[in-house]
Structure 1
Amino acid sequence: MSSTAAEIDPAEKAIQDFARITGVNEGLAHFFLQDYDFELEKALNAYYRQMEKEGDSTDENDSDCMIMDDEKMEVD
């Protein structure tokens, strides 16, 4: 059986699907997928765990702060 243009390599399909689902570029999709033997579900789980971890670490530093000045301001 010969390969046709309609046939796509499973790894390439996984890269395209990963990029489409997550909104990342294909280079980043390839990065995550190669660590999980191009198994889309495992790579997606790893990606979302990583994004959650990064979100948690930035939330700790995103505290709202109000600086109060006790000195009365003079108005002309």
Structure 2
Amino acid sequence: MRYSEFKNLIEEDLRANPAGKTWKELKASLSLPYSQPCAEWIAQLELDIGLERKEKKGNALIWKLSRA
């Protein structure tokens, strides 16, 4: 999977779910092949689509779009 595919999947899912999702929820709903997200891709998502990971659900960070 290329970064552009990953970005589009994450952005579409988070736009449809403005309350956000954890990585585990995104991985399951999108059938992502990664056990953990790539730190470089996360940093790029923050710039490209306004990804924020501030709030927590248990021990997991909630992924949201700042400009949804």
- TM-score, reference length from structure 2: 0.29
Q: Which has the higher contact order (CA 8 A, sep 6+)?
A: 2
More helix by share: 1
TM-score, normalization by structure 1: 0.27
